[in-house]
């Protein structure tokens, strides 16, 4: 991401996890970056079955 920002290139990243604070700090003022993360359901049992290894929903909110 640093290289893309240095070269003034736009980019998007998609994750099922929360982005690291370093990533957020890096792109927060960069107008050509877009990030999104998935929240499939607010049911923890569902998450554990269908998204094992992802962070709990309360941490995403």
Q: How far apart are CA 48 and CA 38, in angstroms?
A: 14
The reply to whether 50 falls in a domain is: yes
The reply to whether 3 falls in a domain is: no
- Please give the residue range of the domain that contains residue 18: 11-59
In contact, 14 and 36? CB cutoff 8 Å: yes
Q: How far apart are CA 43 and CA 41, in angstroms?
A: 5
Task: Encode the chain (61 residues) as per-residue pLDDT tens digits.
Answer: 999 999 999 999 888 777 788 988 989 899 999 888 778 888 989 988 988 888 887 877 7
How confident is the model at residue 17, as a pLDDT?
75
The reply to whether 1 falls in a domain is: no
In 1-61, DSSP assigns E strands to 11-15, 33-37
Report how many domains make up the chain.
1
The reply to whether 36 falls in a domain is: yes
The reply to whether 47 falls in a domain is: yes
How confident is the model at residue 15, as a pLDDT?
82
pTM equals 0.61
The reply to whether 5 falls in a domain is: no
Q: Which residues are within 8 A (CB) of 18 and not within 5 positions of it... i.e. 6 or more apart? A: 37, 55, 59, 60
């Amino acid at each position: 991401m640093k290289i893309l920002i240095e070269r003034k290139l736009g980019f998007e990243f998609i994750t099922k996890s929360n982005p690291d604070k370093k990533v957020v700090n890096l792109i927060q003022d960069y107008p050509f970056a877009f990030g999104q993360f998935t929240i499939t359901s607010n049911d923890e049992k569902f998450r554990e079955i269908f998204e094992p290894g992802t962070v709990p929903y309360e941490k995403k909110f």
